């Protein structure tokens, strides 16, 4: 069973929200065939804790606009790996070092990636 249209829409909103706060390497994965607890993972990274928190805050705000609140939040104190569980979608926002170390994409490599809007992967100008 593939991810629901609702889950795909929430994953897209979360990915766009992460990209708005300059998250890096934003991907969405359809885990519905392998994981009965959720349909999609959205994975994003940021180079420091402050930016991780900014990404998390924006994702929560945007999904609240879709009438969805997180069922569970973990890792917000340290802001190294924050997990936001919205039921149909789980958003992982990781510090770049944690993302490289844990390699979530490698763990779920058998699951199909979800096509995201081009705005998610547009190159950002150097600051």
User: Could you read off the pLDDT of 94-107 as tens digits, one per residue?
Assistant: 999 999 999 999 99
Angle at 116 between CA 108 and CA 77, to 5 degrees: 65
Domains of the chain by start residue, with CATH: 5-117 (3.30.460.10)
Task: Give backbone dihedrals phi and psi of 57, rounded to 5 degrees, phi first.
Answer: -60, -40
Angle at 77 between CA 91 and CA 58, to 5 degrees: 45
Is 0.85 topped by the overall pTM?
yes
Angle at 53 between CA 29 and CA 120, to 5 degrees: 40
Higher pLDDT, 68 or 119: 68
Strands (E), 1-127: 24-30, 40-46, 72-74, 81-85, 89-95
């Amino acid at each position: 069973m593939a991810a629901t249209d609702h889950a795909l829409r929430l994953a897209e909103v979360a990915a766009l929200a992460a990209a708005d706060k300059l998250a890096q390497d934003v991907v969405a994965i359809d885990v519905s065939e392998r994981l009965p607890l959720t349909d999609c993972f959205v994975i994003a990274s940021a180079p420091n804790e402050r930016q991780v928190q900014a990404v998390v805050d924006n994702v929560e705000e945007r999904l609240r606009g879709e009438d969805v609140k997180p069922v569970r939040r973990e890792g917000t104190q340290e802001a190294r790996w924050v997990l936001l569980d919205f039921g149909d979608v789980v958003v992982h926002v990781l510090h770049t070092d944690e993302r490289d170390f844990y390699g979530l994409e490698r763990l779920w490599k058998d699951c199909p990636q979800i096509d995201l809007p081009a705005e998610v992967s547009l190159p950002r100008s150097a600051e």
